[in-house]
Structures are given as C-alpha cells and as structure tokens.
Amino acid sequence: MTKSFIKYKTRIRIITSVVILFWVVLCGRLFSVQIFQGDEHRKKLVAQAHRKESIPAERGNIFDRNDGALTRNIAHYTISVDPSKITEKNVLAKKLHKITGRPLDYYVNKLNSNKNFEFLERNLKNNIIAEKQFQSISGLDIKKHYRRTYPHGSIAGQILGYTDTDDIGISGIEKDYDKFLSGTPGQVIKSKGWKGKYQPRSGLPYLPAVNGNNVKLTIDLNYQSILQEELKRRKKETNSISAMGIIMNPQTGAILAMASVPDFDNNYFSNYKIDNHHCRAITDQFEPGSTFKIVAAVAALAENKISLTEEFNCENGVFTYFDSEIEDHEPYGQLTISQIIKHSSNIGIIKIAEKLGSKKLHKYARLFGFGLTTNLGLNGETSGTLKPEKTWSRISVGQISMGHEVAVSAIQLATAFSAIANGGYLVKPYIVEQIVQSDNKIEKHNNISYKRQIADENIMREIKKMLRQVITSGTGVEAEISGWEIAGKTGTAQKYINGKYSNDEFISNFVGFFPVSEPQILSAIILDEPDSPLHWGGKGAAVAFKRIMQRIINMDDKITPPVKKQEPYAHTENNIPIIQSKKFNDQIPVLLSTMNSNNVIRVPDVRGKSLKKAIKIISNAGLNIKVEGSGQVISQNPRPGTVLRHKEICLVQLK
C-alpha cells in the first residue's frame, strides 16, 4: 500500500460503497419497474401512444311497402381543436373559411383561444374527412356521426316518430323498434405518429361497426299522402277540431295508411304541440254511434234470435225506452233488420238488442274486439271502454246497441268491419311487414293472423248486403262510387260532456269497404266536432271517404273493379226479354273471333302484365280470372295456348 492509498483509504471506501449502492439501488429499481410494475407502466405507455376511438354505426332505415324510403341518415361532422397545438393558425382558419363560408375572424378567434379545447364546427354536412389537407394537422380532431331526417316531412310522421340528438328513438316506430334500428358501434385503436397525430395502423385491434336493421312497413306512401291531404281538407271544410282515418286490407289486416290531423313535421318536432305528435287513430277513444249497430245485427242473426224477414215497429220515429226518449232522424213504421241498418234506425236496433239480451250483446262486442287492444305493433294503443256486463244498467242494452255507453278507437272500428268484409274472421292488424338485416337477410316477418271467427260466412254475406244498401239508398249515399260496389255504415254520435250528451258537439264517422263481393280496401274516417249539418256521418265523414277512395282507385291499378254478372237476357224498355239467336257466334268471321265453332278459347299470355291489363285481356278472351297475390303476373295456369271453354277460369299469380 502506498502512502497515498493509506491517506485516502477511508474516502475510497466511502466512494466505492456509494457507487456499489447506487448500482444496487438502480438495478433494484429497474427490476421493480420491469418486473413488479411492468404491467402498470406498459398500460401507461400504451395509453400515451394509442387511443381507442368509437366507429359510429348507421341507424337502420324505415321503408314503405313498396320499398320507398321514409327515413334517411345524413352524415354530419364535428370539428374540435386544441388551440395550443396548432402552429399555422391563420392558414387553418382560411381553409375552414373557404369550405364553410363562415367569417374568417370566427375561426381566428377560436384558434387563438387560451382554452385547451374548442369546437370549430358542429353538425357540418360537408365531407371534410375527404379533405386530405386536414388529416395531418396535429391538435385537430374530426368526428363523423349521423343525424336522422325525414324526406317526406309530415307524411306518416305520427307513425314514424323521431329520434333525439343521440340518435335514440323516442317516439313512434323509431322508439318501439329502436332495438332493431340501432346498430352496434365498432372500435378502432389508433397509434400516435411522429407528428403527434393519431392514425390507424395494421396489426392494432379493429372491430367494425354493425349497422342497424331496416324496418319495412305495410304503409303505402301514396295512400298515406292521399289520406292526410283529404283529412286536412275535410277538417277545414267542416271546421272540425281534428280528423283521423285508417286505410287497411280487410283480408290480411295490413295497415296501408293511418293518420290524424293536426299533424307535425318530424324534422322540426319541437316546433309543434305534443298533442300533434300522437296518432289519435290508436290513442284516442270515442263513442261511435250508429257504426256500432253492426254488433247487435250480427249477434241477433248468429244466435237465431231474429230472421231476415221479421219486422220491427219503429214507432214512427219516437219511442220511450224506460225513462229515456229515443228518436230516429226520420219517422219509420215497420222495418226489417236490413231496413233498420239501411236507415240507421235507433228504435229498430234497440228492439233487436232487447231480443238478444245483455249477455249476448256483450259477448259479441268482445268477439269484435271492442274493449281490447288490437296489438297492431305500436305502443300507446287504447283498449277503449266496454263495461263488464254485470255493471250494465237497465237501459245499457239499448244504449250500447246504438253506440252509446261504449268507447272505441279508430283501429278497433276498422278491424271490426274487416271481420264483416272478409267473411267473419277477426284479423290481427299489423303495421310492420318485416325487419331486414343490413345484409338483406330477413330477421322477422309478420304473417297474417286471424284471432277468431265471429260468425259464419253466410251471415256476414247478409250483413254486407245490408251495408251495400246503406250506400245505394240509405244514409251513406254520399260515399257511393259508381261501378265499385261500395259498402259501409254511417255513424253520428253525440259527445258526452260534463255528465250529459251534448246537442251541439258530435262525432261524425264512416266505415266503408269495396267491392262488396271481394273487399280489397277498407277505410274508417272520423271527424271530431264538425259544424252542423256536416256533423252527420253521411254528410261529413262519408264525403272524405269517397274522395280518398276515388283518388286511390285512379292512382293504383292493382285495385280491380268488381266483375259484373251478365244478365241471361237483354230487355226492352217494356221489360220484354230479347232472346239472342244461337247462331250469333257463327256469324262472326273466324279471323275476328276468339271462339271457334266448338266454343273453345286459347288462353292468352299475360305474364309480365299488370293486374289491370291481365284482367282486361283474359276477360276480352271470354274467360274468367282468379287472382292470387299483387304486383305483376309471374305465372298463369293453364299455360298460354291451352284450349279452354267459354267462361272457364284462368288462375294468375302476381308478385
């Protein structure tokens, strides 16, 4: 050992110890960081270098039965910024000004803010993401989202409903089918680049968004437009406080149109009264008046309580029923059930109901669906009011038989009359045809559903004859459309206000369908408090029905007119039959006749034709036609060219 070492021995040991201790502590710390705290620090590193972003899912759209779009999703963009990270603020301000047209000073002030976060634009429709000049700017964040719009404004607005700012349904179909319409957002992990901009990179987790399902309704956009236009027109003409209507297929229960006015525009729903948002056709109930008389009529015939020829004394228009005085709008004497329905005699239907009894009347009111919701597929439906039979008073049988002491909704009334139109079956109405996934796979499909049979077809055929007479020579003549065999029933009900029936406020309603032989379309129209004399069902609501049906007939060639039965003989003015010569067909030149000497016909080819054209071609050929489906003819049986005899049936299938 040197003298120097001995002299600095203590210092050297201290320094050596310190160095060794330093490395021991450092190694221990590194070991702790890497082994014990490795996961924690790794998460912090990933959090700083990566960012999880949500990929918005597009909400499913709603379509009418012809695949017409009733909703649309418009892409919007939100631009936000951290002003402290923007270097060329004036350059960015000029670029945004050029795209949006906002004043340049607006962006300059935002970019020079002392805040760490500023919105530059919200709900911008311009596709700014496509502008590459913005993609590499550090501190600038652009997010895409969708906003719901309704291209047809108020058309079907009450059915469709609307969404909130988060694209969640809060009314109508948008709310009731939100779980189908809402998609599932995706996720993407973005990595921080050398410029501080987060960008997607291969190898990082990526979960694509799943768009929402589309909902196809039974609603026909053209029918819906006509219904709303005519309801508004009639409401204004009659000075009613509101009007509502339904158009449906009585054979299937499909709702083709449904509306009430006043209505609202879904795009600006906050600008309208909340009452306008409700579809009164399912949410409101009213006393129907004479349209309810079909219940007692069907029940009495079905239970064999009366016959078609039995007459009832209608007391020349005035009748004391217990302590109440009942009046008819016209004085009548002896009337059959057919005449009672045709003239809408209150006295006559009360006498029929008395023979029927309270239990049977209540039973058939329930069978027709009154007092129960129809479950058509929309929330908010009222069940109406039908009191338990045990609580009825001594005059309830008479009052209910003519549509008092009972409350119904428009959908209940339309469904009840559909049972008459289709031959006696209470069909379940529905408004959603199918739910289709984004890859066009059908997730859910509504099938035709019959709840129960109310009465047999023969009885319903007689009721339909009565309803046809209502139009030809009864209270509903204003609803007649020449050549279309309209059948229906008028109703005029006093409103029950402050514990008594008003003599000034009325409900005018009418339910009709056509053609009576094979009903294709049914509609119920209701006017609330129309001015006199338009308060009568046959003067107020029936006129709106006729206008609506005329426009639909002229617009839709899928609706076929009734086939007129040919009379066996023609008649002179003096009703003398004219016997046609049996040799008449032989007098037709062969080249001009579809029939040969053996009275046979070759089936014409109607494939690809519309229903209207197919009916015309086959009828002109001398054959009868039977139709299945709707749309264009896709097949026919027998095949084209097959030889048939005169008036034999040719079956055509449409799609």
pLDDT digits (tens, 9 = 90+) for 203-217: 677 788 889 999 999
Domain identity same for 212 and 235: no
Domain identity same for 545 and 647: no
SS3 342: helix
Domain identity same for 624 and 528: no
Domain identity same for 543 and 613: no
SS3 57: coil
Q: What is the pLDDT of residue 256?
A: 97
Whether 575 maps to a domain, the answer reads no
CATH number of the domain where residue 631 is located: 3.30.10.20
Whether 630 maps to a domain, the answer reads yes
Residues facing 188 on adjacent strands: 53, 206
Q: What is the pLDDT of residue 479?
A: 96
Residue 497's identity, in one-letter code, is I
Separation of CA 509 from chain center: 21
pLDDT digits (tens, 9 = 90+) for 520-550: 999 999 999 999 999 999 999 999 999 999 9
Whether 257 maps to a domain, the answer reads yes
Whether 408 maps to a domain, the answer reads yes
Residue 340's identity, in one-letter code, is I
Q: What is the pLDDT of residue 525?
A: 97
Domain identity same for 164 and 262: no
Q: What is the pLDDT of residue 520?
A: 94
CB 485 within 8 A of CB 514: yes
Q: Which domain holds residue 209?
A: 52-216
Q: Beta strands 600-602 and 643-645: pairing type? A: antiparallel
Residues facing 430 on adjacent strands: 254
Each residue of 357-368: b (16+ CB within 10 Å) or e? Answer: bbebbbbbbebb
Domain identity same for 628 and 589: yes
Q: How far apart are CA 53 and CA 55, in angstroms?
A: 7
CATH number of the domain where residue 299 is located: 3.40.710.10
41 φψ region: left (φ > 0), alpha (ψ -120 to 50), beta (else)? alpha
Q: What is the pLDDT of residue 580?
A: 43
CB 85 within 8 A of CB 132: no
| Number of domains into which the chain is organized | 4
Q: What is the pLDDT of residue 610?
A: 77
**Closest of 409, 413, 406, 405 to residue 383, by C-alpha:** 409
Q: Give the E-state strand segments of 423-531 in sequence order.
A: 425-427, 432-436, 442-445, 450-453, 487-497, 500-514, 521-528
Element (H, E) at 636: strand 633-637
Whether 488 maps to a domain, the answer reads yes
Q: What parts of the chain have a pLDDT lower than 50?
A: 567-598
Q: How far apart are CA 626 and CA 643, in angstroms?
A: 17
Domain identity same for 79 and 197: yes
Last-in-domain residue among 216, 247, 266: 216
Whether 580 maps to a domain, the answer reads no
CATH number of the domain where residue 101 is located: 3.90.1310.10
DSSP code of residue 477: G
Task: Enumerate long-range contacts of 610-615, CB under 8 Å, 24 or more apart.
Answer: 610/557, 610/558, 611/557, 611/558, 611/560, 611/652, 611/654, 612/557, 612/558, 612/560, 614/652, 615/560
Domain identity same for 421 and 533: yes
Whether 281 maps to a domain, the answer reads yes
Whether 306 maps to a domain, the answer reads yes
Domain identity same for 74 and 12: no
Domain identity same for 345 and 211: no
Domain identity same for 150 and 258: no
Domain identity same for 169 and 208: yes
